[in-house]
Amino acid sequence: MRKSLLTIAMFTAMSGFAQEKPTCSGTTKKGEPCKLVVWKDSALCWRHNPNYIKDMVAQSTVCTAKTTAGRACKMKTRHESGVCYHHRD
């Protein structure tokens, strides 16, 4: 009896610390409520927010350096130098 009361007391005390994260107020194509978590001060997630702008990621290119055998490197990179991590200093 004492053990069960202690367990209940711990559960109720800890349940106050668990905060629900706000979810999106949009609906899916099936008509169900969206389950994604909203960020910042918005009621919509990134998928339903019409003002969302995706971060620009650099286009990947083939490394411009040469291997030790003298052939062109075939690794792809997104680094602004155009050289893969093997050939950067």
39 and 74 within one domain = no
Domain hosting 84: range is 55-89
Task: Assess whether 29 and 65 both reside in one domain.
Answer: no
Span 25-48, mean pLDDT? 92
Q: Structurally, how many domains does the chain consist of?
A: 2
Tokens standing for 18? 């668990």
- Strand pairing report for 76-77 and 61-62: antiparallel
Residues 45 and 77 in one domain: no
Q: Quote the strand ranges of the chain, DSSP E.
A: 61-62, 76-77
Q: Specify the higher pLDDT residue, 28 or 2.
A: 28
pTM over 0.75: no
Q: What is the mean pLDDT of the segment spanning 46-50?
A: 92
Strand ranges, E, within 14-72: 61-62
